[in-house]
Amino acid sequence: MVDTRTHVVVLGGGYAGTVAANRVRMAENADVTLVNPRPRFVERIRLHQLVAGRDDAVVDYAEVLGAGIRLVTDRATRIDAAARTVALGSGDALDYDYLIYAVGSTAAVPASVPGATEFAYPIAEFEYATRLRAALDDLPATTALTVVGAGSTGIETAAELAEQGHPVTLVCGGALGPYLSAPARRSAARRLAKLGVTVLDGPAATVTAVTRHTVTLADGREVPSPLTVWATGFGVPDLAAASGLSTDALGRLLTDESLTSVDDPRIVAAGDAVAPSNQPLRMCCASAAPLGAHAADTVLSRMAGTAPPPLNVALAGQCISLGSRAGVFQLSHTDDTATPLYLGGRTGATLKTAALRASVTLLAREARKPGSLRWLKSAKRAQRLAGSEKVTAT
């Protein structure tokens, strides 16, 4: 008897992977397996709250994963595209008809900064945030702390720790909140100052070395730092490159505008680890969910024998919490560049709280009703790509 079922394996159970796994169930003949190294869904956008002890930042997969999806708690170690198999850390292997690559991003602590990998505490992953929380529990509440990195993660972490009573120095390595417009940046700076955060910005405020008790800056200043938090950006797992698939310089899987790998039409990608036409979207929850949905739609189109649509995702802005009682919601153009408009103070905090809740609500809704997720779209990405050399799938 001919097997008419199609096995879809999703690597990564974050925002993008969970949406993709849920949405693929729109095909009645699809069997879906989700591979994730953790047994529970991590609310990554709450990790700063985990560090501050305000949230555990995890949700049971039963709440966000639809019926019939097989969850495998394991880590993918290699993809064999020719054989259509995925090797797992446990020694097992999975066969697939289609693979959705949604492995996400990782904390990036540069080895080029002496002492950073040894003494600094990353925060961008659940295990790192848990380790940092334990380290904070061992310190007096008034211990001075240094946060390196002034993007959203660094700002949110600095504000949370200052609200707890820690004297915090935020080392920007450039501008505070580089994504923010000037008015929003001023609003964030005022709130941080009110919380007692010392902001060190400009080119001289770049970390050149970390010890157990200090942070050294480019201009030679030494900042006392019994505990240093590192929040300067993200890397991606090396799974794609190690499997012989084409990647960009950071290691993100190269795809065309349907999110299909340039090497194999059976591999589709989503989330932080994808570089469509070598022009990746900003790494964030707001882009991960629609990318996951689009990846699923591409797989569904290929299963149906139709041409998958090109990517069309627009972002409305970025919402940054500044402790529990304030925030900044920066509005953006549809090409993800900031406008002068923002909402701050308690309104910003309210919007951030709503966004945190909505991220899980949207997953749960897609689990109950596959295909329900909708997202902002714009023609600007297509217009920009029309003037450049596209990367197309083979």
194 shares a domain with 147? yes
In a domain, 265, yes or no: yes
Amino acid at 262: V
Q: Measure the CA–CA gap between 356 and 250, rounded to whole angstroms.
A: 28
CB-based contact 124:253 (threshold 8 Å): no
Q: What is the pLDDT of residue 239?
A: 97
Percent of the chain surpassing pLDDT 90: 87
Nearest to 285 by CA among 379, 340, 361: 361
In a domain, 193, yes or no: yes
- Measure Cα distances from 240 to 75, 102, 261, 296, 390 in Å: 13, 11, 10, 19, 20
Residue 390 has pLDDT above 50, yes or no: no
- Measure Cα distances from 154 to 192, 212, 292 in Å: 12, 20, 26
Q: What does the pLDDT average to over 188-202?
A: 96
As a whole number of angstroms, the longest Cα–Cα distance in the chain is 73
Q: What is the pLDDT of residue 120?
A: 96
125 shares a domain with 71? no
Q: What does the pLDDT average to over 260-284?
A: 94
Q: Which residues make beta-bridge pairs with 338?
A: 332
Q: What does the pLDDT average to over 29-58?
A: 96
Domain extent for 385: 6-106+235-393
Instruction: Give, as one character, the DSSP assignment of residue 331.
Output: E
In a domain, 114, yes or no: no
Residue 354 has pLDDT above 80, yes or no: yes
Q: What is the pLDDT of residue 109?
A: 87
In a domain, 359, yes or no: yes
102 shares a domain with 247? yes
In a domain, 371, yes or no: yes
Q: Measure the CA–CA gap between 246 and 31, rounded to whole angstroms.
A: 27
**pTM for this prediction:** 0.93
Instruction: Share the mean pLDDT of the chain.
Output: 93
Q: What is the pLDDT of residue 117?
A: 94
289 shares a domain with 225? no
Q: What is the pLDDT of residue 250?
A: 93
Amino acid at 15: Y
280 shares a domain with 339? yes
CB-based contact 135:120 (threshold 8 Å): no
CB-based contact 16:295 (threshold 8 Å): yes
158 shares a domain with 84? no
| Residue recorded with tokens 């010392």 | 198
245 shares a domain with 357? yes
242 shares a domain with 380? yes
Helices (H), the chain: 15-24, 47-52, 61-64, 116-119, 126-137, 152-163, 182-194, 239-242, 285-304, 345-368, 380-386
Q: Measure the CA–CA gap between 329 and 187, rounded to whole angstroms.
A: 10
Q: Measure the CA–CA gap between 274 and 366, rounded to whole angstroms.
A: 22
CB-based contact 202:93 (threshold 8 Å): no
248 shares a domain with 315? yes
Count structural domains, the chain.
2
Query: Residues 231-265: pLDDT tens digits?
Result: 998 899 999 999 999 999 999 999 999 999 999 99
In a domain, 289, yes or no: yes
Query: Residues 304-343: pLDDT tens digits?
Result: 999 999 999 988 899 999 999 999 999 999 888 999 999 9
Residue 111 has pLDDT above 80, yes or no: yes
Q: What is the pLDDT of residue 110?
A: 87
In a domain, 304, yes or no: yes
Q: Measure the CA–CA gap between 344 and 165, rounded to whole angstroms.
A: 22
Nearest to 294 by CA among 266, 271, 317, 272: 271
Query: Residues 135-166: pLDDT tens digits?
Result: 999 999 899 999 999 999 999 999 999 999 99
**Residues 6 or more apart in contact with residue 388 via CB below 8 angstroms:** 277, 279
Confidence of residue 380 (pLDDT cuts 50, 70, 90): low
| Residue recorded with tokens 């949604």 | 102
In a domain, 111, yes or no: no
364 shares a domain with 287? yes
Last residue of a domain, one of 186, 211, 230: 230
Q: CATH no. for residue 370? A: 3.50.50.100
Last residue of a domain, one of 201, 230, 259: 230
Query: Residues 160-172: pLDDT tens digits?
Result: 999 999 999 999 9
86 shares a domain with 36? yes
272 shares a domain with 226? no
Q: What is the pLDDT of residue 392?
A: 43
Q: 15-24 vs 285-304: helix axis angle to the nearest 10?
A: 30
Last residue of a domain, one of 230, 260, 281: 230
Q: CATH no. for residue 214? A: 3.50.50.60
Q: Measure the CA–CA gap between 34 and 361, rounded to whole angstroms.
A: 19
Nearest to 321 by CA among 198, 157, 171: 157
